[in-house]
Chains A and B, each alone.
Chain A
Amino acid sequence: MLKCVDITKRFGGLCALDSVSLELKDGEILGLVGPNGAGKTTLLNIISGFLKPDSGYVMVDGMRADRLRRFEICKKLKINRTYQIPQPLTNLSLLDNVLLATVFGNEEGQVDREYAREFSIRLLEKVGLENKLHVRSDELNAAERKFLDLARALATRPRVLLLDEIVAGLSKFETNFIIGLLRELVTKEKISVLLVEHVMDFVVTVCDRVVILHQGKKIAEGKPKEVLRHKQVVEIYLGSEKVE
């Protein structure tokens, strides 16, 4: 469904991504793992149109994503995302945040006003924010902001969902809630998920497959448990056994 082919991105002298290729299959949850500065967020930014790759391209169902503008990526390709630092539109209420995405994130004429409102409220209920519909979103705490990000992304009815460290800093309870939600989205709504994460328990539990990035290069790919035992991966995270 979503294919990244030979993506390279440089920031000045730093090579953030060095011809990285990966494929996200239909209905799959793919984990993108690696130490800080490995290029994970850069890759999400390229897929979602926040950055243009220096070379390589992103294909979604045979369409070039890297040539489209952001609102087209959201609307036509049906890709949406959450952010490492949640980005609520703080001058709007929670409901308006989600309503905006519901109305503009779907093709015009597809949603009428009354339905859009109901749909937005249902989404906020789904992420447990139904008591704060009319609260301005700058009054939310860190966890609630993440849930609002998620609700806003879901309001555009994405087929590919990109999650940037969605469970970092969440409690055990909240993490389990996200796990349940993701599984439901994948089975019921056939959404494919690409997630960047440092919390390994979460990755192992929820991901079908994992890609490991290190210094902009893909170094391993496969089932979570196998990949995380991979020698080079262990070295990156824990250092090598040899002490010189």
Chain B
Amino acid sequence: MKPAPFAYAKAKSLDHAIELLARPDGEARLLAGGQSLIATLNMRLSAPKLLIDLNGVDGLAGIAVKSGMVEIGALTRHVEAERSDAIAEHAPLIALAMPHIGHAAIRNRGTLGGSIAFADPAAELPACLVALGGEVEIAGPRGKRTVRADDFFKGLFETALGPGDVLTAIRVPAATPESRVGFAEFARRHGDYAMVGLAATAQADGKGLGDVRLAYFGVGNIPLRARKAETKLTEGNIDDAVQALAADLDPSGDVQATGATKKHLAGVLLRRVAKQLMEQP
């Protein structure tokens, strides 16, 4: 299908984008990589009146490590993160997740900020952000603010972003020698959205793990922490952690799998990811 008619404007700056967004009808959408947005326009799942193209706005792309945090500009493309030495070294969870996101042609265009702002419940990056305990930087009509990942994802495709807001960057704590990360997902075809996925972080604590954070995706409306399983994993018991998932997760079925299948797969993933967390040097 073809998109319904809309107007197109190229934002000259962040302020210009915010100014263009401030329409009384609220029917403007930001265009970043467009790899989800244009698909939804083509399918007429949405029909905004105005697209504001952020591509070309200076200062929104790039990867920087400062004050113990890795800052990734919203317009940074997946391919840049995938090939970044800074990401591999300081944000290894994102490096692990990157090859699972879309396909080469998608990663050449898609942006990290776009993926977080779109908040697809089956997408990899929102779960990574939650697992890492990261934060989101937002610019809006009333200035800038920072929102923690745990507070950012509100509901199905719903985030802390207001209609006049632009997501400008994400920040995650830079890895330390004690950091452990794990990532696994099931998808029918490599690069497709996951049926179930798991992004995890922990801190090495002697021979065990501390501060385990398990963020599942594809099993709810937002990335979901499996808190009871986290506790069990901290106690070092993988079997108990898998058992605990029964209380943590209650996925609905979708076109890809039933809720029961997803629940089973969540346990399989937990075993794989627990192994990754425990086996890192």
Decide if A and B are genuine partners.
no
Question: Which residues of B are at the interface with A, using a C-beta cutoff of 8 A?
Answer: none
